[in-house]
Homo-oligomer: A and B are copies of this chain.
Amino acid sequence: MITKYKPRPKRPAGELPAKNFSDQSAKIGAPDYQGSKLKIMVLGGLEEVGRNMTVLEYGQEIIIIDMGLQFPEEDMPGIDYIIPNISYLEDKTDRIKGIIITHGHYDHIGGIPHLMGKLGNPPMFMGKLTAGIVRKRGQEFNKCPKLDIQEIDEISKMQLGKNFRVEILRVNHSIPDCFAIIVHTPAGTVIHSGDFKIDYSPVNDKPADLNRIAQLGGQGVLLLMSDSTDATHTGYQISESSIGDEMGKIFEKLDGRIIIGTFASQLSRVQKLFDLAERFGRRINLQGRSMNDNVEIAHQIGYLKFNPRILVEDHELDRLPDNKVMIVGTGAQGESNAFLTRVVNGEHRSVNLKAGDTVIFSSSVIPGNERSIQTLMDMMVRQGAKVINYEMMDVHAGGHAKQEDLKLMMRLIKPEYFMPIEGNHYMLRAHAELAEQVGIPKNKILVADNGQIVEFHKSAGGGAIGRLTKDKVITDYVMVDGLGVGDVSNIVLRDRRVMAEDGMIVIIATVDSKTGDTIGNPDIISRGFVYMRENKELIQKTRMKVKKIVKDHDPRTPADDDYIKNKIRNDIAQFLFSQTKRRPMVLPVVIKV
C-alpha cells in the first residue's frame, strides 16, 4: 500500500504532524511487541559492512533496504562482482513485505536482477530516477522477473505489513533521488541514512531536508544507521556547486577540446557539465553506453535539464572547432572497456587525443584503481593532451558526509542507539568514536558485522533495549562470474591465484599396462611457467624424472595410479622449485594403454 500526503495548505514545507511512538503503534494495528523483537541484519560483500542490503524483521514480517553488489578484491581474479547472500531469506520469501531502494548506484541496486526471482519478486519502492535505472538494468538480464516497482518521493508513506510504516527523507549524494529511510516499527523509529552528504547547494537536486531531520530528532528516534564511508576524513564535504565553479574557472582558460571522464551515475556532475557547456558555447558529445543510458533516463523524467540541441553525434565532431567541443564519457577509474581507455588505446571509432586537448578526471579514485589511472594519464600526456585530476585541483566533490557532517546528523537526530554502516570495519570504528564525541553512550553504539543480528526488545520501563547478539546469518560471498552465480568456489579461486602466480605444467605419461613402462617420452605442456623453447634442458630433465618415477613403481594396478600421480606431482614440483624458485601447479595425467 502506498499513499501520498495531501499537503495541508498551512503547514510549512517539510513539517510533519507531530507524532510519537505510541501514536504510531496504535495506528499500525496490533503490533505483537510483547513477544516479538525487532531484528536488524546488515549485509554487504567483502570488508564493507551493510553497504549492499539491510534486513529489518519484526515478528513474522520482513522489509529490505537496498540490494546492491560489490566489486571483487584483487585476490578474486575473473570474478565480475559479488552479490548479497540471501540464504537467510530464501525460506521466508512470503514474509517480505517490501523492498526500499535508497538510490540508483550499483552498490545499492546491482543485486536486484539476480535476487528478485529468488525472493518471490516482492513490491519495490524507489525514487523516479532510481526506478528508471533499475528497469533498464532488469531488461538486460534474462532471469530477472518483471519487477513490481512503485515510485516514491519525500512525501510518500508506505505501510508495509502490520509492523512497518515507512517514510522517506531526502538527502544528497552524487546522484539525484537519494533517500534516507525512516522506518517506524513497534519497537521504535529506525533511520537508515543510505549514502549521503549534506549539501546546502546541490546541483539539480533539492537540499537534504535538515528541518525535517531535526523534527524527527525531536520526536525520538530509537536507532540511527549511518553512512561511514568518509568517517575517517576530517572536516566537511565540499558542495557539488562549488565543483561547478571550479570547473568553470578551468574551462575559461581552455580553447582546445575538453574531455571529461566521470561516473555515468554521477548525474549531478553531468548536469553541471551541461550548464557549463551552455555557458561556454560548447556542444556535448556523450560517450559510453551507461553514460548515454543514464542521461536519457534522467532527461526523460526531467531530472537532467538541457536543450537536446546541445548534443552532438560522433560524426559531427570533426566539423566543430575544438573550442566548441566537450566530450563527456566514462572510464575515469581506468576501467578497461570504458571510453577513456578505448581512446588512448586508439580503439575508439571517432575520438583520438591530440595536442590541445584537456582531459579532466572528475571523480575520486576508488581504492585499487590508482595504478590503472596513472597509466591512463601517462598515455594521455604522451599523446599530447593535458591532464587535470582531483589531486591537482578541486574537480571532484565526494558523495559522502565527512566527520563534521556526520556529527551534525547525529546532533540533529539525537538517536538513542547508533549503528555505523556502509564502510570497512575500521571506518565503522572511526564513526563510532565520533558518536561518542557527540555524547552517545558507548553501550548504545552498536558496531555490527555483516550478518550479525542486532536485536531490540522491550525493556521493563517500556522503551526498547538494543544489543548486538552473537547470532549471525550466513554471509559467505556469492560471486558472479559470467553466467555463474555462486558457482565459483574458493577452490576454483585458489587455483586461479596459483596459476596466475607461477603458471602450470601438465605432465602426460602414457604407460604400457602390460609392462608398466612409459611409452615414448612423457608429454609436457607448460603455460605461464617458463618459455619452453628457451628451457629445453629443464623440460628434458623433467621428462627423465617422470620416466624414472613410473619405472620405479609398477603402475599396473589401479591402486597405484594415485600413488604415481602424487609422486609425480610432489617430486616434480620440488624439482622445478629447486631449479627455478617458482611453484607452478603440476598436473599429472597417467594414461594406460
Q: Is the CB of B496 within 8 A of A374?
A: no
Q: Is A297 engaged at the interface, CB distance under 8 Å to the other chain?
A: no
Given contacts A47-B374, A527-B504, A531-B489, contact A484 B580 (CB under 8 A): yes
Q: Is A371 engaged at the interface, CB distance under 8 Å to the other chain?
A: yes
From 411 to 432 in chain A, residues with beta carbon under 8 angstroms from any chain B beta carbon are: 424-426, 429-430
Specify which chain B residues have a CB less than 8 angstroms from the CB of A464 in the assembled complex: none
Report the count of interface residues on A (CB-CB < 8 A). 72
Q: Is the CB of B374 within 8 A of A78?
A: no
Inter-chain CA distance A449–B429, complex, in Å, is: 45
Q: Determine chain A's interface SS by DSSP, over half rule.
A: mixed
Given contacts A510-B593, A580-B484, contact A426 B492 (CB under 8 A): no
Q: How far is the CB of A334 from chain B (nearest CB, A)?
A: 11
Inter-chain CA distance A391–B403, complex, in Å, is: 13
Inter-chain CA distance A579–B484, complex, in Å, is: 9
Specify which chain B residues have a CB less than 8 angstroms from the CB of A35 in the assembled complex: none
Inter-chain CA distance A187–B231, complex, in Å, is: 56
User: CB < 8 Å: which of B78, B481, B499, B582 contacts A527?
Assistant: B499
Q: Is the CB of A580 within 8 A of B483?
A: yes
Q: Is the CB of B371 within 8 A of A527?
A: no
Q: How far is the CB of A97 from chain B (nearest CB, A)?
A: 33
Specify which chain B residues have a CB less than 8 angstroms from the CB of A510 in the assembled complex: 591, 593
Q: Is A296 engaged at the interface, CB distance under 8 Å to the other chain?
A: no
Q: Is the CB of B74 within 8 A of A74?
A: yes
Q: Is A155 engaged at the interface, CB distance under 8 Å to the other chain?
A: no
Q: How far is the CB of A580 from chain B (nearest CB, A)?
A: 5
Residue of A234, A378, A488, A589 ringed by the most chain B CB atoms within 10 A: A378
Copies in the complex: 2
Per-residue B-contact encoding for A319-335, CB less than 8 Å = 1, 0 else:
00000000000000000
Per-residue B-contact encoding for A499-535, CB less than 8 Å = 1, 0 else:
1111110101010000000010001010111110011
- The residue in chain B whose Cβ has the minimal distance to the Cβ of A489 is B531
Question: Which residues on A are within 8 Å of B, measured CB to CB?
Answer: 47, 73-74, 77-78, 232-234, 367-368, 370-372, 374-375, 377-378, 380-382, 386-387, 389, 391-392, 424-426, 429-430, 449, 481-484, 487-489, 491-493, 495-497, 499-504, 506, 508, 510, 519, 523, 525, 527-531, 534-535, 579-582, 585, 587, 589, 591, 593
Specify which chain B residues have a CB less than 8 angstroms from the CB of A501 in the assembled complex: 77-78, 496
Q: Is the CB of B502 within 8 A of A499?
A: no
User: CB < 8 Å: which of B392, B492, B497, B504 contacts A529?
Assistant: B492
Q: Is the CB of B499 within 8 A of A503?
A: yes
Q: A74-B74, A377-B426, A499-B503 are in contact. List 17 more A-B contacts (CB 8 A).
A: A47-B375, A78-B501, A78-B582, A232-B391, A368-B368, A387-B429, A481-B502, A482-B581, A484-B581, A487-B530, A487-B531, A487-B535, A496-B503, A499-B499, A500-B500, A506-B525, A508-B589
Q: How far is the CB of A447 from chain B (nearest CB, A)?
A: 9
User: CB < 8 Å: which of B233, B508, B579 contacts A591?
Assistant: B508
Q: Is the CB of A424 within 8 A of B77?
A: no
Q: How far is the CB of A517 from chain B (nearest CB, A)?
A: 14
Q: Is the CB of A525 within 8 A of B381?
A: no
Given contacts A382-B425, A500-B499, A529-B492, contact A483 B591 (CB under 8 A): no
Specify which chain B residues have a CB less than 8 angstroms from the CB of A378 in the assembled complex: 47, 424-426
Q: Is the CB of A492 within 8 A of B74?
A: no
Q: Is the CB of B527 within 8 A of A585?
A: yes
Q: Is the CB of A497 within 8 A of B495?
A: no
Given contacts A426-B377, A589-B523, contact A495 B491 (CB under 8 A): no
Q: Is the CB of B587 within 8 A of A506?
A: yes
User: CB < 8 Å: which of B371, B530, B581 contacts A367?
Assistant: B371
Q: How far is the CB of A530 from chain B (nearest CB, A)?
A: 6
User: CB < 8 Å: which of B232, B371, B504 contacts A392?
Assistant: B232
Q: Is the CB of B370 within 8 A of A531?
A: no
Residue of A389, A424, A449 ringed by the most chain B CB atoms within 10 A: A424
Given contacts A47-B374, A484-B582, A531-B487, contact A500 B73 (CB under 8 A): no
Q: Is the CB of B499 within 8 A of A504?
A: yes
Residue of A425, A482, A499, A580 ringed by the most chain B CB atoms within 10 A: A499
Q: Is the CB of A500 within 8 A of B77?
A: yes
Specify which chain B residues have a CB less than 8 angstroms from the CB of A382 in the assembled complex: 425, 449
Q: Is the CB of A506 within 8 A of B374?
A: no
Q: How far is the CB of A319 from chain B (nearest CB, A)?
A: 30
Specify which chain B residues have a CB less than 8 angstroms from the CB of A488 in the assembled complex: 530-531
Q: How far is the CB of A256 from chain B (nearest CB, A)?
A: 15
Q: Is the CB of B483 within 8 A of A581?
A: yes
